[in-house]
Amino acid sequence: MRPRGTVAVVTGASSGIGAATALALHEAGARLVLHGRDTERLAALAGRTGGQVVTGDLADTAAIPALAQDILGRFGEVDILVNNAGVGWAGPFGEMTAADVRRVIDVNLTAPVELTRALLPALRTRPAARVVFVTSIAGRTAVAGESVYSAVKAGLDVFADSLRFELSGTTVKIGVVVPGVVDTEFFARRGRPYERSSPKPVGADRIAAAVLRAIRDDRAEVYVPAWLRLPVVIRGVLPGMYRTLAARFGGSS
């Protein structure tokens, strides 16, 4: 699929991976719908890309049908949906409040599921359409101190795979991009900075390039960096060894 001339919706476009992905899609010729909460940053990005700004908090899942109608009302069609918006929380599970748990679940899992459901009828009318989910290595390997975040990212992975199977033979193709540690504001916002010496964080532009590959080449999944596939394979083939190594060397980030 070539992005040129398509209408692409990017959630979490205010900063980080979302902003980088919007710029990459703009350079590839897509017309953009930029969704996020930071109106000033979105306006600045719209100025660079010519995109249309749609603001809102995806934690308010009841507002998602209206968000979808707003998007379709402005453009009449959608060809690409990049479900990127996410929120983290790091620390002992016992210290999470019910509100913390609800927000992590709603933003990272409920919102992308509901937005995809709301836009899927429009996507299915297009000659070629793509939905890409930005998940996390935390959902593939589990991470100490991020139990709820890891769980919802794992859930998003399985939802994406299931939807890909369900839509097989249609014009709508589903892809997943699985980042490791990314050099963005995410870690500061989750309440605990990234303090490990390795792996080194990668730039958001690398994740954006992976999203573009998933769109262009109908890639079911793309790991960034590619070596992250290795611990996932070890966990699947030798789960006992994986858990021993994770306990020894630490699974927190």
- Whether the CB-CB separation of 22 and 204 falls below 8 Å is answered with no
Distances from the Cα of 114 to the Cα of 61, 63, 83, 96, angstroms: 8, 10, 11, 25
pLDDT attached to residue 188:
58
**Which residue type occupies 88?**
G
Residue 184 pLDDT grade (very low, low, confident, very high; cuts 50, 70, 90): low
Q: In DSSP terms, which residues pair with 178 in a beta bridge?
A: 223
What 3-state DSSP class applies to 74?
helix
pLDDT attached to residue 171:
97
pLDDT attached to residue 250:
54
| Residue 95 clears pLDDT 90, i.e. is over it | yes
| Residue 211 clears pLDDT 60, i.e. is over it | yes
Query: Which fold, 7-249?
Result: Rossmann fold (3.40.50)
pLDDT attached to residue 194:
61
**Rounded distance between C-alpha atoms, residue 153 and residue 142, angstroms:** 10
**Rounded distance between C-alpha atoms, residue 230 and residue 247, angstroms:** 17
Distances from the Cα of 206 to the Cα of 20, 48, 64, angstroms: 9, 20, 29
pLDDT attached to residue 178:
97
Average pLDDT rounded to a whole number, residues 246-253: 57
Nearest to 18 by CA among 140, 138, 182: 182
The number of C-alpha atoms within 13 Å of 83 and in the hemisphere containing its C-beta is 33
Q: In DSSP terms, which residues pair with 31 in a beta bridge?
A: 7
Residue of higher predicted confidence among 142 and 170: 170
| Residue 14 clears pLDDT 60, i.e. is over it | yes
Q: Which of 149, 194, 223, 242 is catalytic?
A: 149
Place of tokens 């699974």: 251
What 3-state DSSP class applies to 147?
helix
E strand or H helix at 8, and its extent? strand 7-10
Nearest to 136 by CA among 79, 61, 60, 190: 190
Q: In the chain, what's the furthest Cα-to-Cα distance?
A: 53
- Calculate the average pLDDT of the chain: 91
| Residue 253 clears pLDDT 80, i.e. is over it | no
| Residue 168 clears pLDDT 70, i.e. is over it | yes
pLDDT attached to residue 229:
87
Place of tokens 């991470």: 143
From first CA to last CA, the distance across the chain in angstroms is 36
Average pLDDT rounded to a whole number, residues 92-119: 97
- Whether the CB-CB separation of 194 and 238 falls below 8 Å is answered with no
**Rounded distance between C-alpha atoms, residue 76 and residue 56, angstroms:** 20
Relative to beta strand 221-224, strand 7-10 is unpaired
Place of tokens 């795979």: 161
Tokens representing 31 are 């017309």
Residue 149 annotated to the active site: yes
**Rounded distance between C-alpha atoms, residue 46 and residue 22, angstroms:** 9
pLDDT attached to residue 98:
97
Tokens representing 54 are 């749609």
Average pLDDT rounded to a whole number, residues 47-59: 96
Residue of higher predicted confidence among 5 and 191: 5
Please state which of the ranges 165-169, 184-188, 248-252 shows the lowest mean pLDDT. Answer: 248-252
